[in-house]
Structure 1
């Protein structure tokens, strides 16, 4: 699991920058070749959830983040 976490953190830093950190309340979703991983930080504790399925893609825009 430590190797996976290192790979995910490296991917996060490539996407958002070397100085960016996961903050309390953040949720980050990673799509891997064979699963989906959800990282979140709650009360300074990193939670990792590995799901054996891929996200279901829905072609719809909610407008929440525009």
Structure 2
């Protein structure tokens, strides 16, 4: 299943970077969304279990939650 990052890139500020944390599998990106907004897309890796736990702890402290859609 391919992930379309276009809607997310369109929310990134001029000269901004969208960082993808972890493995997304195949992705689709509209080149014009990168060019027009001078945006970039960068992988961040997962930093292993300790790094992932620090991110989750920070999200918990700041009330950042995931939007999850479960499909059959």
TM-score range, shorter chain: 0.3 to 0.5
Q: TM-score normalized by structure 1?
A: 0.33
User: Which of these two proteins has the greater Rg computed from alpha carbons?
Assistant: 2
**Which is richer in strand?**
1
Q: TM-score normalized by structure 2?
A: 0.31
**Which is richer in helix?**
2
Which of structures 1 and 2 has the larger relative contact order (alpha carbons within 8 angstroms, sep 6+)?
2
